[in-house]
Amino acid sequence: MSLAANQSDGEIAPAGTRSRLMFWILLAAISTLVLVYAVTRAFVWDEGYHLIAAQQISQGKLPYIDFCFPQTPLNAFLNGEIVKLFGQHWRPVHVVAALFSLGAVFLTANFMLRRFPEPRWRLACALTAAVFVGLNEVVIEFGTIGQAYGICLFFSVAAYRMALATPARVSLFPPLVCGLLAGVAAGSSLLTAPILPVLLIWIWVYDRVGLPWRKALAFIAGAAVAFLPVGWLFLKGPRQTFFNVVQYHALYRRADWPGATFHDAQVFLSWLDSTQALTLALLAMAGLIFIRKHSGWERDQRAEFYLAAWICAAVGAYLCTPHPTFGRYFIFLTPFVTILAMAGLYAVASQLGYDARPAWPAWTAGGLMTLMLAPAAVNSTSATTWPEYEKVARKVAEVAPPGAKLFADEVVYFALQRNPPPGMEVSYTHVITMPPEQEKLFHIVSEPELKSQIGRHEFGAVQSCSDPMMDRFGLPGPYRYKVDLDDCTIFWGERPK
């Protein structure tokens, strides 16, 4: 489909090459911004243990079996291949994550360009959707790091797009691929797992060729293929796999969060403090009301938007159940809320008399969303980044005796290209106390044991950026020297007895 801008009345309408160029220029500009951020400032402390998992996998080790990794493994396997191919550095991992996020931006915008029910609004909605997703502060901050946010965004939206192709087709290939895509998202992070049943039910209900049960089986088969790595790991180590995928989250995840309930309540209300999130939510609600009341759109057209709404409802409700939960988890709603928000933008603009002139509403909404990114951009200039941790890592390497055992944050181990001591791949697991044989089986080391090792001066150097952790371990303890570097502290050398 070709689209162009009618310059005489400010209207974005169907026609020639200029509008296609406009679409690709905007995507290129967003891509440049996101990629530059990914290789310069993108950093989240929690990505450390994901990168350690990639480091271990690149050396031939297996998650669950050889080290603790309380996540589904597909993103870790991908990152392991990236490390193996490009060397142990965070930038290649960030680039791939950013490209996945940008793929989700394209798929969302392309949906508007091809399937928005009002042809005159297709380019306007495509451009606005690209801005709403691509310049969303949460997508930029978390869709560009080593965790699974980027890959899950892409495969979730890809599964949604493939689901839309299934109702009118006799072929079982679309539902098979749809299940595979949704399964890859869930196989990278179980935070996206509710998308699987939502798509399955939608494919069954909206089938138009009389093959609902066959398509459902094809979908399930595709999803099962995506979970073959988990099944393989379960066969190799059933107890370890069950612990990492299920038991850790069910029993131990909030062990170190006595105030998790209050924290969760703050997260549930945090969208009211974000102008971007609030704008998206209000437009999405307006869009959903419009779709329900508007009789001009065909049933099948409305069904595509209802599917986005059901995904938002199911995933949003599910993301309220982890304790603690975090605002970043709701990143997976962004493309689907944006789809509803485009219907809301059309509804509001129509009420204001701009239904035949989409340019002004599109530029206004996109411009405001871009301006709303400014506070996050300013705040990011003072945030911790990878180069700062690389400086900490260099200092650790300088003061630690050669070949000495180290106690450090996961990001420092990765920056040093050093393997953590066994059981120290995920620092969150230190709060778990089990019988020694279980700790060995699940590759964890408890805080009492670590405190004992520090007291015996088993570590040539100890590094931490957490004051509470240092207090719990009684540091400096036996260590003679101490240096503060940014927000981190490094201890080394044995105190004279």
Cis peptide before 212 (omega within 30 of 0): no
Tell me, what DSSP letter sits at residue 495?
P
- How is residue 148 written in tokens? 């699974």
pLDDT < 50 regions, the chain: 1-15
pLDDT of residue 267: 81
Residues 444 and 425: their CA atoms lie apart, in Å, by 8
pLDDT of residue 106: 98
Contacts of 210 (CB under 8 A, 6+ apart): none
**CB 319 within 8 Å of CB 195:** no
pLDDT of residue 237: 97
pLDDT of residue 13: 43
Handedness of CA 315, 57, 178, 219 (dihedral sign): negative
Across 4-26, b (16+ Cβ under 10 Å) vs e yields bbeeeeebbbeeeeebeebbeeb
Tell me, what DSSP letter sits at residue 496?
P
- How is residue 455 written in tokens? 């007291």
pLDDT of residue 199: 98
Residues 342 and 294: their CA atoms lie apart, in Å, by 15
